[in-house]
């Protein structure tokens, strides 16, 4: 009788992903900018409150939420379309694309939900996305079957690449947020100088 895939040496991916999710969650909470005034379990409620308050405003915040929603639909369409039409096996880079876009989207969602801390120090979203990505790898290990026929080496490499690409998307968001903060600070100093003249 064959060993079930979950109890094979591939278990190292599931256990490793759990351990990485926990370490990355700890690193997130220890990183400057982490929204300490909100408990982790309250994040969904914070998101819903922000959406209720900011969507009807019709300003740049409404546009940011709309952009995140459109991005989410696009990433979901690319992923589920890729699964349905078997694009993942035909175009190996498709997986990289969807993971990078997903990491960027999750980072944007976190960053806009917790704008104040993120504008002060946006790099907290990088380990947060790593923790979420590792959690998703645990979900795939437990509930999906596509990896059952993979070798242990291929599965480990695929998981590491997925996590690196997710985190790279988050890093791109953090860099963009840093540049936005610097540009806003320069614009603000310029407008203060113009008013004092």
What confidence category does residue 191 fall into, taking pLDDT thresholds of 50, 70 and 90?
Answer: low
Taking a C-beta distance cutoff of 8 angstroms, is the pair 134, 85 a contact?
A: no
Is residue 187 over pLDDT 80?
no
Q: Where are the alpha helices (DSSP H) in the chain?
A: 11-30, 43-54, 60-84, 87-90, 93-113, 115-120, 125-143, 152-196
Tokens of 125: 């979203």
Question: What does the pLDDT look like over 89-139, one tens digit per residue?
Answer: 999 899 999 999 999 999 999 999 999 999 999 999 999 999 999 999 999
Q: What would the pLDDT profile of 163-177 be if each residue is shown by its tens digit?
A: 999 999 999 999 999
What is the 3-state secondary structure of 119-157? HHCHHHHHHHHHHHHHHHHHHHHHHCCCCCCCCHHHHHH
**Integer Cα distance of 182 and 54 in angstroms:** 24
Q: Assess whether pLDDT exceeds 50 at residue 196.
A: no
Q: Which residue ranges make up each domain of the chain?
A: 58-192
Q: pLDDT band at 3, cuts 50/70/90?
A: confident
Question: Would the pTM of this model clear 0.85, i.e. be above it?
Answer: yes
What's the CA gap between 120 and 193, in Å, rounded?
23
């Amino acid at each position: 009788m064959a060993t079930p895939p979950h109890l094979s040496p591939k278990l190292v991916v599931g256990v490793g992903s759990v351990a990485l999710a926990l370490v990355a969650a700890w690193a997130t909470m220890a990183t400057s900018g982490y929204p300490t005034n909100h408990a982790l379990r309250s994040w969904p409620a914070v998101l819903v409150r922000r959406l209720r308050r900011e969507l009807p405003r019709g300003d740049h915040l409404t546009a940011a939420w709309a952009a995140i929603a459109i991005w989410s639909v696009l990433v979901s369409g690319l992923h589920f379309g890729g699964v349905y039409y078997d694009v993942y096996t035909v175009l190996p880079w498709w997986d990289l694309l969807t993971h990078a876009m997903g990491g960027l989207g999750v980072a944007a969602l976190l960053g806009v939900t917790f704008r104040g801390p993120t504008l002060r120090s946006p790099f907290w979203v990088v380990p947060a996305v790593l923790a979420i990505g590792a959690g998703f790898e645990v979900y795939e290990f437990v509930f999906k079957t596509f990896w059952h026929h993979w070798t242990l080496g291929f599965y480990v490499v695929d998981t590491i690449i997925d996590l690196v690409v997710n985190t790279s998307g988050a890093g791109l968001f953090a860099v963009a947020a840093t540049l936005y903060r610097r540009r806003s600070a320069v614009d603000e100093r310029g407008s203060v100088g113009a008013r004092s003249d």
